[in-house]
């Protein structure tokens, strides 16, 4: 495994080393190959299956969007050969494996996540790549990186992580703490406040059904308190400055565009984030069979014909620790 990135030994208090995996690795590999396996935690189930509903075309479209995001996060971080990168909330490894290519044979990447199943997934991919000697895997949340020594890293990256963190200010403080002087932070976050209420107000006979779906979403993720929507791009700037970063850059993008046609079956079995049920699960929970049929009669043509509009906003922030 890689050596500690500075003179202070880096001893993870939680995490794992592939050399101690034994038979559990083979068992986990079988589990992960069944992407919808109910034994996987909510984060792994969503990232590996529920975000695209098992539809290869939907996954292709997602990656078509995400690959440029990955490249931009890494470009903003100015990742170089021989550096040590921590990817916080690594998920399936999109950013981390991109960083691994850039740091070369003399660099290293630390994968951290709150999901053991996703760390297992990333470990197996790294093993298949023959890259385990340049990787570490740490079970940790963004606001508690105690397993990582002070001033030990060149770069910290995150993508769509802070939307799940209640104490964002503490997360930024942790990012600052683990970076060396001259170290860089690079993050990407969707700004979900921008597209908050996407439910129509003119659904005719189906309006009461639409309102019940809206109320369930609000109950699961309250718009005034849920970490996914309780911040905007200006909060990211404030948190970065409060943490101690003195050189901070922010790029904000917002877009309203015509909706794209999608397959009804895909939409039924897709979840917007790990905390939300799929549309099929919502309909089964809220509606009688007759109500479900009415809701489908209203919504399905809108989905398949791409009626309406889509709204989205995102922020890239990168900063330097002086």
Least confident residue range of 22-26, 254-258, 281-285, 309-313:
22-26
Strand partners, 179: 153
Instruction: Retrieve residue 73's tokens.
Output: 């996060």
| Band (39; pLDDT cuts 50, 70, 90) | confident
Sequence-distant (6+) residues with CB within 8 A of 150 are 8, 177, 178
Give pLDDT, residue 223: 86
What is the model's pTM? 0.86
Residue 138, SS3 per DSSP: strand
Query: What is the mean predicted confidence (pLDDT) over 9-21?
Result: 31
Q: What tens digit of pLDDT does each residue of 166-190 get?
A: 999 999 999 999 999 999 999 999 9
Query: Which of left, alpha, beta for 169 (phi over 0: left; psi -120 to 50: alpha)?
Result: alpha
Q: What tens digit of pLDDT does each residue of 116-148 get?
A: 999 999 999 999 999 999 999 999 999 999 999
Longest distance between any two alpha carbons in the chain, whole Å? 68
Highest mean pLDDT among 5-14, 103-112, 221-230, 306-315: 103-112
Q: How far apart are CA 68 and CA 70, in angstroms?
A: 5
The position carrying tokens 């989905």 is 303
Q: What tens digit of pLDDT does each residue of 72-124 get?
A: 999 999 999 999 999 999 999 999 999 999 999 999 999 999 999 999 999 99
Q: Are 138 and 174 in contact (CB under 8 A)?
A: no
Please state which architecture CATH assigns to domain 1-191+231-258+309-322. Answer: 3-Layer(aba) Sandwich (3.40)
Q: Where are the strands (E) in the chain, listed by range?
A: 84-88, 108-113, 135-139, 153-159, 179-190, 247-258, 309-320
Asked whether the predicted pLDDT for residue 19 surpasses 60, the reply is no
What residues does each domain of the chain span?
Answer: 1-191+231-258+309-322, 194-224+260-306
């Amino acid at each position: 495994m890689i050596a500690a990135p500075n003179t202070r030994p880096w001893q993870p208090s939680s995490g794992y080393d592939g050399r101690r995996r034994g038979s559990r690795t083979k068992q986990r590999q079988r589990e992960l190959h069944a992407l919808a396996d109910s034994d996987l935690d909510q984060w792994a189930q969503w990232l590996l299956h529920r975000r695209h509903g098992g539809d290869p075309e939907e996954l292709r479209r997602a990656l078509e969007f995400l690959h440029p995001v990955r490249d931009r996060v890494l470009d903003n971080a100015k990742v170089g050969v021989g550096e040590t990168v921590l990817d916080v909330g690594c998920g399936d490894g999109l950013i981390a494996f991109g960083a691994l290519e850039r740091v070369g044979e003399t660099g290293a990447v630390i994968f951290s996540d709150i999901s053991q199943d996703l760390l297992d997934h990333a470990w197996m991919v790294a093993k298949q790549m023959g890259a385990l000697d340049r990787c570490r895997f740490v079970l940790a949340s963004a606001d508690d990186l105690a397993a990582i020594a002070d001033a030990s890293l060149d770069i910290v990256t995150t993508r769509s992580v802070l939307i799940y963190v209640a104490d964002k200010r503490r997360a930024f403080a942790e990012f600052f703490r683990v970076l060396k002087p001259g170290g860089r932070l690079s993050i990407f976050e969707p700004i979900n406040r921008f597209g908050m209420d996407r439910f129509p107000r003119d659904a005719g006979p189906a309006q009461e059904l639409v309102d019940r779906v809206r109320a369930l979403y609000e109950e699961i993720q309250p718009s005034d308190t849920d970490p996914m929507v309780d911040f905007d791009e200006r909060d990211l700037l404030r948190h970065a400055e409060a943490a101690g970063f003195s050189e901070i850059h922010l790029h904000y993008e917002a877009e309203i565009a015509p909706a794209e046609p999608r397959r009804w079956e895909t939409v039924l079995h897709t979840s917007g984030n790990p905390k939300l049920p799929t549309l099929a699960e919502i309909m089964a929970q809220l509606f009688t069979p007759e109500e479900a049929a009415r809701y489908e009669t209203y919504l399905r043509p809108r989905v398949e014909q791409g009626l309406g509009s889509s709204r989205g906003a995102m922020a890239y922030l990168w900063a330097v620790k002086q």
